[in-house]
Amino acid sequence: MMGICLDDIRKASERIRPYIHRTPLIRSDSFSRLTGAEVFLKAENLQKTGSFKVRGALNKMMGLKDEKVIAASMGNHAQGVAYAARELNKRSMIVMPVIAPIIKQEATRGYGAEVVLYGNTFNDALDYALSMKEYRFIHAFDDDDVIAGQGSIGLEITDDLKDFDSILVPVGGGGLISGISVALKNISPGVEIIGVQAELSPSCYRSFKEGRVEGIRPGPTIADGIAVGRVGDRTFEIIRKYVDDIVLVNEDSIAMAILLFLERKKLVVEGAGAVGLACLLEKTERFRGKKIVLVVSGGNIDFTLIDRIIHRGLVKSGRISVFEVVIDDIPGSLHDLTGIIASKGGNVLHVRHERLGIDLPIGKTRVIFTVETRGRGHLEEILDEIGSRGLEHKG
């Protein structure tokens, strides 16, 4: 493996500059107060196609004489290749499994690509793409030119912020963190580089700990953009050399991070792009008092799922709570109970009765509430008041 150097990244940055946005590095006062760190956001969710992927795709394809390119992808890489092909007057074919969300199929077609649906899994689509020998295959991450293109993010960060302690980078196949780490460790070797993966897709984490590439089938995660079953061979060698640590975050923290981006920064961020903030939320003490950069890798969230993701984030933060109360099954009991909740400032969103539970005495009913609260402390106030009235509750 030849690998890449800082000069390769600098050349890539110059080459792709006319075709991309130089995305902002935003200092977040709200996230800084929330976590106790000084937090900066590299907003690649505002990039062309809504993701950093276009950088690597452009750099790879600008060095090709081939007029026809092909890629296998379920989302961001597909759109990056399609956009790059359109800008460079090439013909592109993107192979997706039939389960790929329609919204991502249509977005890819919108950039001018021919979309072919094949197989039920990503590997089925990949095998088909590799069989199309008349097209030049564009790998999503395990390619030196692609890695160098992604590394241009590191150059932009060091131009905008001369001194920081750590950078948190989403990791799937490893192309993004590989390019960034080569740039940063050659410019600012003291910067701590930390990769972040979802717990349900820990290939790079396991490989990093074991010292060899480990393939692990990813589970269903809302960070679908980094749900990769095997870190790349090229990327792993760079990660072993330059990356300081790989950490895992859970689904609730990712959902909470997506919600915080929407509420506090008015930014639409997909699950993969939110894992850096999720890491800060889970490991606050590790980063307290430090200057931290979060690479917000993309914003292509599936809006058919966003209501569920927001709900999960609200539950995680204690803003929506579910609890049950056993009351007398007589007129007025429910009215009295909702009055208690209202007196404490809770907003009842949903009520459900259960009268037939075998654990319920005759004449009693279980009422299950979904209530909007200010947080967990507010919920405790409501439950304490309910308990003071002699009512049995659980929540």
In a domain, 108, yes or no: yes
Whether residues 203 and 100 fall in one domain: no
Catalytic, 283? Answer no
In a domain, 185, yes or no: yes
Show the domain range for 325: 318-394
Number of domains in the chain: 3
Catalytic, 297? Answer yes
- Give the pLDDT confidence of 274-299 residue by residue, as tens digits: 999 999 999 999 999 999 999 999 99
- Give the pLDDT confidence of 186-235 residue by residue, as tens digits: 999 999 999 999 999 999 999 999 999 999 888 889 998 898 889 999 99
> Would you state the pLDDT for residue 196?
98
Strand order in the sheet with 192-198: 25-28, 38-43, 291-296, 166-170, 192-198, 245-249
Q: Which of 42, 53, 60, 316 is catalytic?
A: 53
In a domain, 142, yes or no: no
> Would you state the pLDDT for residue 169?
98
In a domain, 378, yes or no: yes
Least confident piece of the model among 70-84, 306-320, 341-355: 306-320
Residue 2: band (very low, low, confident or very high) from pLDDT cuts 50, 70, 90: low
Residue 309: band (very low, low, confident or very high) from pLDDT cuts 50, 70, 90: confident
Whether residues 120 and 214 fall in one domain: no
Whether residues 208 and 291 fall in one domain: yes
Last residue of a domain, one of 77, 106, 134: 134
In a domain, 139, yes or no: no
CATH number at residue 354: 3.30.70.260
Q: Which of 152, 297, 317, 321 is catalytic?
A: 297
Whether residues 287 and 342 fall in one domain: no
In a domain, 81, yes or no: yes
Q: Which residues contact 177 (CB under 8 A, 6 or more apart)?
A: 169, 170, 171, 193, 195, 235, 239, 243
CATH number at residue 166: 3.40.50.1100
Whether residues 189 and 217 fall in one domain: yes
Rg over CA atoms, the chain: 24
Which residues in the chain belong to E strands, given as ranges?
A: 25-28, 38-43, 68-72, 91-96, 114-117, 136-137, 166-170, 192-198, 245-249, 291-296, 320-328, 347-354, 364-372, 392-394
In a domain, 140, yes or no: no
Whether residues 163 and 290 fall in one domain: yes
Q: What is the 3-class SS of 36-92, one letter each residue?
A: CCEEEEEEHHHCHHHECHHHHHHHHHHCCCCCEEEEECCCHHHHHHHHHHHHCCCEE
Residue 14: band (very low, low, confident or very high) from pLDDT cuts 50, 70, 90: very high
In a domain, 90, yes or no: yes
